[in-house]
Structure 1
Amino acid sequence: MEKMLLNNDLIDNDQMKLSINDRGYQFGDGIYEVIKVYNGNLFTPTEHIDRLYRSADAIRLVIPYTKDVLHKTLYDLVEENELVDGHIYLQITRGVSPRNHAFPIEPTEPVLIAYTQTAERPVNNHRNGVSAILVEDIRWLRCDIKSLNLLGNVLAKQKAHEANCYEAIQHRGEIVTEGSSSNIYGIKNGVLYTHPTNQYILNGITRQVVMKCCQELGIQVVEEPMTKEELLQMDEVFLSSTTSEITPIIKIDDSIINSGKPGDFTRKIQQAFEEKVQQVM
């Protein structure tokens, strides 16, 4: 039977019990990360754990473990479950206390859970590209925090699902922000455009790898807001996330991107990303 992590303990899945008064359940009062695993090795774990602690600081949640201890515990979880390819889901809530919107008066112990999930790499999407729709971004104004409050993302993703599309590209008014579970990029005349890292988007870990790949490839990057119209006029469009990696977008609503084929620059970035993956395998 697979193991799950509950605070400091690795336990069987059927032993996992959480309180109805956990603030993560009642308020979404917590944070999370998803860390990719290739051939039993965590990909960019330091970056994910650093972001987890930044999110915790932003919501005034004190994680009762050092980064090194958490890092080792996650590796132990992967080894215990003999995970080869897939990912770890990790979340920390403010803990258990009687329901009240304000922080608990009495100190509470944060509740940490993590589990592994086997998942194949989406190679067909990488090769052929995916479709997306444009939707209004209705989320709160601190999207840089990787919080458990994901209802806006869920509603956007559901719209994409009902339209038989892979992703929903969100926009505030005319300005494109990010996907419901990804960062969004456009390429025009060999220059990569993407929204700057501020409170309106999550600074994706895969996004950070994309930035490094572009630097190594000599691809100019412009981090500034782009409009919906500008996005649809791009030569190439792609998305990135931990689970989707680098995925070309070949259609947005009724607009075909690059004649419906993944573009050359996207392919170069995919290859550079793949080389970094191979380094941990």
Structure 2
Amino acid sequence: MPESVYLNGEWLAPEAAKVSVFDRGFLFADGIYEVVPVYHGHPFLLEDHLARLERSLAALEIANPGQAFWLDLIQQLLTRNHSQDALVYIQVTRGAEAKRSHLPQGPLQPTIFASVSAMPVHWDVPTPVKVTLLDDIRWLRCDIKSISLLGNIMLKQQAQACGALEPLLHRNGLVTEGASSNYFAVKDGAIYTAPTDHLILPGITRMWVLKLAKELAIPVHEQAFSVADLAQLDELFLTSSSREVQPIGQIDDIIIGQGGCGEITERLVHAFHASKRQLSAQ
């Protein structure tokens, strides 16, 4: 647990941080969040995370205090908690009002909360995991990093019941993403991943891995792959801020490749580790 969290201009012990029962985040999940990985005290790809935070706030028409505010907040959060390898969590809701109403009753003062948690950092090639194929039951604005995560939670519970790390979600026969990750398929030496539209969250790690793939001269297609093609894939992996590049060896009863980490996935794992070292040393 962190020593100190930020809430609406105050630095508090976690147990002392309270929000109003009329906060729209509590009543309606009317808010957004962002998660920033930190290596050796340096936020990773921070400008990209803050740009996505700005897009999410703009989509909900919630006021953004600006980049200087976020930079100072994150630095203070890391300093006060003596954090080196960590995940920074930021949440902004529309704020609290005097009564419960679906339609906000005029401009409100946003509720801003931030905390940090320790993140174990690995430098090896992760062991391949199992995922499970599930219908994507979530809403149609997955590009907004909304705190309304009930669909994601239900899907993660179903995946856990199947002995899987993550759900592999699909709509109309096409793979979208995971409950908290993006997916990449490898076939005949090329990478395929769903395009950044309203059906997926544009992951920052996803964006970075696509950049690394292009630097490694690996062909990239931002094109959704189909459920019908899963059994013929050469490799499959997912990305997220906490998992980085995670190889997948099995989808339900389908073994991908030979169940191990494929060559292209392994190259991207090593490239990601190298970029962590480089950016955290700057």
TM > 0.5 fold call: yes
Q: Identify the TM-score tier after normalising by the shorter chain.
A: over 0.9
CA RMSD between the two structures: 1.3
Mapped partners of 1:27, 1:232: distance in 2? 40
Q: Post-superposition shift, 1:75?
A: 1.2
1:82 aligns with 2:82: yes
| 1:222 alignment partner AA | H
Mapped partners of 2:72, 2:269: distance in 1? 29
Mapped partners of 1:82, 1:231: distance in 2? 44
- SS of the aligned residue for 2:176 comes to strand
1:205 aligns with 2:204: yes
- SS of the aligned residue for 1:248 comes to strand
Q: Post-superposition shift, 1:194?
A: 0.3
- SS of the aligned residue for 1:50 comes to helix
Which range moved further: 96-105 or 234-243?
A: 96-105
Could you list the per-position Cα deviations for residues 87-121 of structure 1 after superposition, in whole angstroms to 9, with x for gaps in the alignment? 0111000000121001222x210000010101213
Map 1:131-280 to 2 at 5 A: 131-279=130-278, 280=280
* TM-score, reference length from structure 2: 0.95
- SS of the aligned residue for 2:11 comes to strand
Kindly indicate whether the alpha-carbon contact (under 8 Å) linking 1:122 and 1:244 is maintained by their aligned counterparts in 2: no
Kindly indicate whether the alpha-carbon contact (under 8 Å) linking 2:5 and 2:77 is maintained by their aligned counterparts in 1: yes
Which range moved further: 13-22 or 241-250?
A: 13-22
| 2:81 alignment partner AA | N
Provide the residue aligned with 1:66 in structure 2: 66
The share of aligned pairs that are identical, in percent, is 39
Q: Post-superposition shift, 1:247?
A: 0.2
Could you list the per-position Cα deviations for residues 149-189 of structure 1 after superposition, in whole angstroms to 9, with x for gaps in the alignment? 11111111111111111110100121110011100000011
- What runs of 5+ residues in structure 1 fail to find an aligned partner? none
- SS of the aligned residue for 1:127 comes to coil
Mapped partners of 1:101, 1:202: distance in 2? 25
Map 1:60-139 to 2 at 5 A: 60-63=61-64, 65-97=65-97, 98-105=99-106, 107-121=107-121, 126-139=125-138
Mapped partners of 2:80, 2:233: distance in 1? 45
Kindly indicate whether the alpha-carbon contact (under 8 Å) linking 2:176 and 2:194 is maintained by their aligned counterparts in 1: yes
Could you list the per-position Cα deviations for residues 252-276 of structure 1 after superposition, in whole angstroms to 9, with x for gaps in the alignment? 0100011110000001111111111
- SS of the aligned residue for 2:258 comes to helix
1:38 aligns with 2:39: yes
- What runs of 5+ residues in structure 2 fail to find an aligned partner? none
Q: How many equivalent residue pairs? A: 278
* TM-score, reference length from structure 1: 0.96
Mapped partners of 1:231, 1:213: distance in 2? 24
| 2:47 alignment partner AA | T
Kindly indicate whether the alpha-carbon contact (under 8 Å) linking 2:123 and 2:273 is maintained by their aligned counterparts in 1: no
Mapped partners of 1:122, 1:16: distance in 2? 32
